[in-house]
Structure formats: structure tokens, C-alpha cells
């Protein structure tokens, strides 16, 4: 805890005073342009990777960057999507998976989940990833099979995202765009799923 308290002390002394006017604007409202859905993994730090800051990203995180199938059931992810799209009015939803994902490792081998009933049930949400795995990429090295499944999960969860009522309406109205990303921790590179070509391409190349 001491490390966190020291970090807070530094924030109060050095960071907050220099951005006081920004925080004053954010104290009563927010207007982020992006909803960022990603994994709970501690190695994924969206603001660091994307150069964003307070008020920029509306974030939903969970094990395996899951978007549960649209239904009448209530869950935190779909409730967040509904709120972000219909109330906050984000313009983009980014679904971001990442390399070396523990949830997807567990999906490949469920050994050891006997005493984790909640996690075991949660992994049912990623089963569709096996149906959408792209061809294994030798460039991924020893983790190529896992990387393929993780990309397949991005596709599967992106399809679930497209099926959310709030997303369907917003896309139809032309006020929302969705994106599927794969982030590689080792290289720092991001790939974006091209829904027309049905393949992952380097993000910077897609934007050029």
C-alpha cells in the first residue's frame, strides 16, 4: 500500500495542481469519444498505450475482454455499453484483446479451474473464439496457437458487440463505429481486424 499512497501523494503535490482547470471541467460532466473494452490484465494500460488522459476514454474491463451475448440478463459489460452509447454518446467502440491473455490460456486448458467456479462459467463466453480463429501466424513464435485463439476471441466478441441493441441502433443512425484490436505486449504493436478482408492488419497501416 505504501507505493500507492506515495503515488497519490505525488499526484496531489505535483500532478493535480498543474491540471486543476481540466479537472474542474471534468468534475460535473464527461464527453469521451471512445468506449474502450479490454481485458482486466494489469499489463494493458490504455492511457499509456494511446496517449489519452482523464475524460478521454470510457473503459470497460473484464477477464478476456468479453461482451456477453445480448439477452434480457443484466451484466456490467452490456450495461456499460448501453450507457456509453445511448447516454454518453461515444462515437467509437474499441474491443481490444492482447497477447498472452490468461483467460484464453484457460480456455485452451481448463485444468486448475475446479476451484474457480465463477471463472469457469465466465469462460463459456469465449467458446465462440474457437470457431473464429484465423490461421496460425508463424511470426507469433511459440505462442502462435494462443495468439490465433486470442484474435479469434476479438472477432467473436466484436460480433457480440454488433448484436447489442444500443450498438445496432447507433450504427444504423451513423453515429457509432466499432473496431476490433489485438495488442501485442512484447512489441507494443496493435493490429486492427478488417471486417471486409476478414484479417488483422497493423493499425498504422490501416490508417494510412
31-207 falls under which CATH superfamily?
Carbonic anhydrase (3.40.1050.10)
pLDDT digits (tens, 9 = 90+) for 116-153: 999 999 999 999 999 999 999 998 998 999 999 999 99
* Per-domain boundaries in the chain: 1-30, 31-207
Q: What is the pLDDT of residue 152?
A: 98
The model's pTM: 0.94
Report the range of poorest mean pLDDT among 48-52, 86-90, 110-114: 110-114
Structural contact between residues 178 and 95, judged by C-beta atoms closer than 8 angstroms: yes
pLDDT of residue 206: 65
Q: What are the cell numbers at 189?
A: 504493436
- In 3D space, the residue among 160, 146, 196, 185 whose CA is nearest the CA of residue 65 turns out to be 160
- What's the average model confidence in pLDDT over 179-189? 97
Q: Is the pLDDT of residue 160 over 80?
A: yes
* For residue 208, pLDDT beyond 70: no
Q: What is the pLDDT of residues 30-78, one digit of tens each?
A: 999 999 999 999 999 999 999 999 999 999 999 999 999 877 688 999 9
For residue 104, the model assigns a pLDDT of 96
Please state the rounded mean pLDDT for residues 13-33: 92
Mean pLDDT, the chain, rounded, equals: 94
Q: What is the pLDDT of residue 70?
A: 77
Task: Give DSSP secondary structure letters for the chain.
Answer: -HHHHHHHHHIIIIIGGGGHHHHHHHTT----SEEEEEE--TT--HHHHHT--TTTEEEEEETT---PPPSSS--HHHHHHHHIIIII--SEEEEEEETT-HHHHHHH--TT-TT-HHHHHHGGGGGGGGGSPPPP-GGGGGGHHHHHHHHHHHHHHHHHHHTSHHHHHHHHTT--EEEEEEE-TTT--EEEEETTTTEEEEHHHHH-
CA atoms within 13 A on the CB side of 182: 26
According to the model, what pLDDT value does residue 61 have?
98
Amino acid at each position: 500500500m505504501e507505493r500507492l499512497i506515495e503515488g497519490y501523494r505525488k499526484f496531489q503535490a505535483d500532478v493535480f495542481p498543474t491540471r486543476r482547470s481540466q479537472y474542474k471541467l471534468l468534475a460535473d460532466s464527461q464527453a469521451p469519444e471512445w468506449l474502450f473494452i479490454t481485458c482486466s490484465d494489469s499489463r494493458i494500460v490504455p492511457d499509456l498505450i494511446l496517449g489519452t488522459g482523464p475524460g478521454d476514454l470510457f473503459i470497460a474491463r473484464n477477464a478476456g475482454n468479453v461482451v456477453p451475448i445480448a439477452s434480457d440478463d443484466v451484466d456490467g459489460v452490456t450495461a456499460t455499453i448501453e450507457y456509453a452509447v445511448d447516454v454518453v454518446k461515444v462515437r467509437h467502440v474499441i474491443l481490444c484483446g492482447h497477447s498472452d491473455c490468461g483467460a484464453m490460456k484457460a480456455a485452451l486448458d481448463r485444468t486448475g479451474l475446479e476451484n474457480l467456479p465463477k471463472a469457469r462459467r465466465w469462460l463459456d463466453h469465449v467458446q465462440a473464439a474457437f470457431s473464429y480463429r484465423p490461421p496460425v501466424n508463424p511470426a507469433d513464435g511459440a505462442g502462435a496457437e494462443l495468439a490465433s485463439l486470442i484474435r479469434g476471441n476479438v472477432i467473436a466478441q466484436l460480433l457480440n458487440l454488433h448484436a447489442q441493441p444500443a450498438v445496432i441502433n447507433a450504427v444504423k443512425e451513423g453515429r457509432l463505429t466499432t473496431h476490433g484490436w489485438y495488442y501485442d505486449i512484447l512489441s507494443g504493436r496493435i493490429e486492427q481486424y478488417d471486417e471486409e478482408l476478414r484479417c488483422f492488419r497493423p493499425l498504422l497501416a490501416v490508417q494510412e
